Chains A and B, each alone.
Chain A
């Protein structure tokens, strides 16, 4: 069974800081990894998808890296803004090369960026 851990659980920073959110998973035989954003009481917005053949993926101020061998992914947020305040979730499919559809989620990092 895949287990996903996210550190830190919560982060509160002033506007403008560069941030690092960490995700680890137990079964490294994954096809890809997704990072999501969730605003309070809302659904999940997909931020980045990293295929297993890639080492990183970038979208605007977001950059996600994937190190399958160590079972880790990192989400970097550059020049944080108050609008970045949300919970960030990391999700991976089952390992062992499975293509079946379930995702395993961490509990998320709750980010607050204050002006």
Chain B
């Protein structure tokens, strides 16, 4: 079991550009969540995808968008990059059980630097 994988590992962009980050969930998981972690802070929830739809969203602008594919993998897109978007972007996967709350597993993250 490869666990949660993310690509790329590092990325450098300039202000105004667009970026796409990718995530493959742990085997058997159907739900993907994305988090942003600024330096020295705890991760902040961006959004969650289940059944190829955005199910819940945190306090992030529309510049942040995503997609989930039929194989449960997911992409995070950020448009019109700002310096403040520089952060570690984490993907987490889980299995959605509406009667309980399942453990979330995180990937290694993508370090985005905006210059």
Contact = CB atoms under 8 A, between A and B. Distances in A.
A64 interface: no
Interface stretch (B13-21, B69-77, B78-86, B99-107): B99-107
B97 interface: yes
A74 B42 CA distance: 18
B55 A101 contact: yes
Nearest to B33: A101
A34 B106 contact: no
B111 A31 contact: no
A93 B101 contact: yes
Contacts of B88: 41
Interface string A16-32: 00000000000000111
B94 A101 contact: yes
B100 A31 contact: yes
A64 to B, nearest CB: 13
B56 interface: yes
A44 to B, nearest CB: 4
Interface of B: 4, 6, 31, 33, 35, 40-45, 48, 50, 55-56, 58, 88, 90, 92, 94, 96-101, 103-109, 111
